[in-house]
Amino acid sequence: MTLFSLKGKVAIITGGGSGIGKAISVKFAAQGAIVHILELNSDNAKETIAEIEKEKGKVFSHSCNVADAAQVSKVINEIAKQSSPDILVNNAGVAHVGNIENTSEGDLDRLYSINIKGVYNCIRTTIPHMKEHKKGVILNIASIASSVGLSDRFAYSMTKGAVLTMTYSVARDYIHDHIRCNCISPARVHTPFVDGFIAKNYPGREKEMFEKLSKSQPIGRMGLPEEIANLALYLCSDEAAFITGTDYPIDGGFIKLNT
């Protein structure tokens, strides 16, 4: 028996075209899952699809704005007509830098619509299918910002705090339907988003800022998307059948050692 096998399981992964979502999609497909990537622009998922198909994995891409309840309902229900989803990974999200004074109402609404409502839309549509089959795993990607105060991350922290508490509520409400719900809280992970953020905000100082941001984790570096994917694989596998309603920091010691 292969540990952490997802053979034949249907996995829906939002934001699966890049960064952490891409790593999770590739990892799950390698372990035998039938992966459905939800992306606002399906063109963003082409590289992920090519990588999975090169290794003979099964993957499908769906253009979907997770903030749009009607789109989410249509896409997930169409997937469920073929086979009920076994796994939902809520990874899609956006970041924002700023304290409450320089966070506009528009900024707040945008982060709410994607980071909170997007998770709500996907869970609300998927849960009935999981209930019908009396099984399912939901994994939300939260953040260390869910649990600790970070400077200039007001709106982002607000939304990720909501993801954390949604995780607890869903785990409690659907435990008797044999649906597990957990979340992962990464610290800074080296993704294309980080490189773009540094280039945009610190032109000419990219190397300096990369090293500074890396060292904010006590372990001395940023996490890798593949490391987040490894934890996601475990929590969505049958080997984690006794785990629900739990947040898993994966942070290079940030929460406990950075005080």
What amino acid positions are annotated as catalytic residues? 156
CA angle, residues 143, 147, 153, in degrees to nearest 5:
65
Contact (Cβ atoms closer than 8 angstroms) between residue 122 and residue 12 = yes
Contact (Cβ atoms closer than 8 angstroms) between residue 142 and residue 181 = no
Helix (H), strand (E) counts: the chain: 10, 7
Phi, psi (degrees; rounded to nearest 5) at 116: -105, -60
CA distance 68 to 232: 25
Strand-by-strand arrangement of the 136-141 sheet: 58-63, 34-39, 10-14, 87-90, 136-141, 179-186, 247-250
